[in-house]
A and B are shown apart, each in its own frame.
Chain A
Amino acid sequence: MVFDKIRSGKRAQKALGLLSGLVFGFLLQKGGLTEYDVILGQLLLTDFTVVKVMLSAILVGMVGVFVMRWKGLVRLQIKPGSIGSTALGGIIFGVGFAILGYCPGTAAAAFGAGAIDALVGMIGMVIGAGIFARLYPVLDRLILNWGAFHADTLPELIGLKPEIVAAVTAVLILGLLYLLAAQGL
């Protein structure tokens, strides 16, 4: 593939990671997602900035990724899930999300913007990730594989072609964004 050389270059990848991060952090700050009040506002359902940013990113990202895959330029990076891993982990994450008020990406951006509590949150995340690594052998044996999902993707689950599900998802996202704007949220 045309991009194999750059994909396998270790130094090129580190530089690309840094560059991607620069753009990501810049965008998060300009979007107001470096602010605790904006993130808590979303969880309290009084400020819909986070949902607007996420839905727009999903919409634009989805169209590009599916077109590139159709052209044979990229492959999807799908992770399998289970009740024990995805749902349980997701609930623990969500509680932490409300208590910290930043997520792993926005905490880094908020720290860059000068928020000391975000730095403390990042230290907490390293500790939490470290605890998980220690518990991993036990969790993997007892909980993580419990209730494994029978499908990896929504198209597999529903039994429709990925392109059709992507198109329907795009229309639903546009509708949702329109509704939010129409409600003045």
Chain B
Amino acid sequence: MIEWLTAASWSPYLVGAGIGVLIWTAFLLSDRHLGCSTAYSKTAGMIELAISRQKTVSMPYYRKIPATIDWQWMLVVGTIIGSALSEYLSGSWRVSMIPPLFEQSFGADEHLRQAVALAGGILMGLGARWADGCTSGHGISGTLQLSLASWIAVICFFAAGIIAAGLIYGFSFL
């Protein structure tokens, strides 16, 4: 059991099956699907609330998605802690500034990577709310319910992602 928890990695099939079972519990115990991107809207709403309470409560989007700490927000907090725990148990937790692939192509400038990550994050946050879901909400939880919007969303995520990644690093299959 201990060796299992401290292993550096598990089979992707096992990890996927585990996420599948986690989705059963979300449906059964919380009457929800498992999605992460709503939490980012809630955080944005909390910041807006701190700046101007009156204005924020009148914004239509925060009436639709209230800026409160709930199951979905705690899910993302838990995700941070769970991953830290897993990495710590495998004895490999460390602070890292630049992913190896990025460094190989664009050099070791930490600020460049951070500027790129910020720009990518802004687009992703915008896109996730625009499409009303992300890789977990649409990509896994929605597709498994055979939702048409979710299958179209996940096709768009990967089609645009594959083209954009190819433009950045070159298309491996050309």
Contacts and interface: CB of A to CB of B under 8 A. Distances in A.
B-side binding surface: helix, strand, loop or mixed?
helix
A115 B99 contact: yes
A177 to B, nearest CB: 7
Interface in A153-170: 153-157, 162, 165-166, 169
Contact of A21 (B61, B82, B120, B149): B82
Contacts of B14: 56
B108 interface: no
Interface in A4-43: 6-7, 10, 13-37, 40-41, 43
A105 B136 contact: yes
A88 interface: yes
Interface in A116-147: 116-118, 120-134, 136-137, 139-140, 144
A109 B77 CA distance: 9
B14 to A, nearest CB: 8
Given A35-B99, A152-B149, A96 B75 contact: no
A-side binding surface: helix, strand, loop or mixed?
helix
A58 B142 CA distance: 9
Interface string B135-172: 11011111111111111111111111111111011011
Given A86-B156, A93-B160, A105-B36, A21 B76 contact: yes
Contact of A100 (B75, B110, B124): B124
A47 to B, nearest CB: 10
In the A-B complex, the 3 residue pairs with the closest CB atoms = A21-B78, A124-B121, A128-B125
12 contacts: A22-B82, A25-B83, A29-B83, A34-B87, A54-B140, A57-B20, A65-B23, A86-B153, A91-B160, A96-B126, A112-B84, A133-B41
